Amino acid sequence: MLVHLKELLKHAADHEYTLGAFNVENLETTLGVVRAAVAKRSPIILQVSETSIRYAGLKAITNIVQTISSVEAGVIPIALHLDHGKTFRSVAECIRVGFSSIMMDASDMPFMENVLLTKQAVDFAHGREVLVQGELGVVRGLEEVSPEERAKLMTKPEEAEEYVRKTGVDALAVAVGNVHGIIKMRKGNPDLDLGRLEAIHNAIPAIPLVLHGASGLPQSEIFEGMKRGIRIINIDTEIRLSFTNALREMLMKNPTVFDPRELLSPSIQAIQRVVEAKLEMFGSAGKATLINKV
Ligand SMILES: [Zn+2]
């Protein structure tokens, strides 16, 4: 069932686990993620990006998430979130159709512009009881910036307190060496700057921190991040990879199969397996029981 992210964040803090936020873009990815949550009795966040909204249509993807969350998930709590909202307009549209949380990503802008744009989104969202995730520092793909540039783009702990105080965000995406995208899956992840993460957490201990670009991060790094205030971990690339790899294999092995349902079923199962492993890793497996006594 769909619940407000506020409830899940409170529950995760009280019971010391981290929420997985999984990107979905169609029926099949949503089914794969939700079936994993059901199998593991885990609360989860389902999130959509602006590109997925352009691909599927806001109403269509929202209805898919809402319907699957009630029909397939039953009492398993699921929160719906906008990932990387770049404009006030997309933030407002998602709030209008029932998202309980949005991200306003103005991290590309200079500090004060980031603050102003995010504050504008916060004022609008909070007036409608919707949570806001901001981003300070910039998370980029491995192919986009050099290691030196990435170091410069990391979140500055000394700015984090001011940013949170001036914007009023409910959660903060941090850049601590994490990277978006597919290239790192082949080349290996850079290490997280755990000292920086700890300093950020100490500066704003009440604010849940969000780790973007966590696909492919080893378990040890994830654990160290969770110890230092990471309360939400975004997984996107691994979902898309598992979907596509399973589909490619299915097509290669079965050149005569033409039924999309038959072709796509292994992809749904592959996503489910990937997400189930993450839910175990994040410590959220089994935690739905505590919320709903199921
Ligand atoms: Zn991201």
- 228-237, pLDDT tens digit by residue? 999 999 999 9
Between the CA of 234 and the centroid of ligand 1 the distance, in Å, is 7
Q: What is the pLDDT of residue 5?
A: 97
Between the CA of 252 and the centroid of ligand 1 the distance, in Å, is 32
Q: What is the pLDDT of residue 190?
A: 75
**CATH number, domain with residue 93:** 3.20.20.70
> Do residues 42 and 277 make contact, with C-beta atoms less than 8 angstroms apart?
no
> Do residues 21 and 37 make contact, with C-beta atoms less than 8 angstroms apart?
no
CA atoms of 72 and 34, how far apart (whole Å): 7
Task: State pTM to two decimals.
Answer: 0.95
Between the CA of 232 and the centroid of ligand 1 the distance, in Å, is 11
| Ranges 144-158, 168-182, 193-207: which has the least confidence | 144-158
Q: Band the pLDDT of 186: cuts 50, 70, 90.
A: low
CA 62 from chain centre, in angstroms, equals 16
In terms of pLDDT, which residue wins out, 93 or 151?
93
What average pLDDT does the segment 86-91 reach? Answer: 96
Domain boundaries, position 184:
5-292
Give me the number of domains the chain comprises: 1
34-86 residue pLDDT tens: 999 999 999 999 999 999 999 999 999 999 999 999 999 999 999 999 999 99
> Do residues 264 and 242 make contact, with C-beta atoms less than 8 angstroms apart?
no
In terms of pLDDT, which residue wins out, 191 or 69?
69
Please provide the average confidence, as pLDDT, over all residues in the chain.
Answer: 94
Between the CA of 70 and the centroid of ligand 1 the distance, in Å, is 26
In the three-class reduction of DSSP (H, G, I as helix; E, B as strand; rest coil), residue 17 is classed as coil
Tokens of 88: 């006030």
> Do residues 235 and 22 make contact, with C-beta atoms less than 8 angstroms apart?
yes
Q: What residues are labeled active site?
A: 83
Between the CA of 140 and the centroid of ligand 1 the distance, in Å, is 8
Between the CA of 253 and the centroid of ligand 1 the distance, in Å, is 34
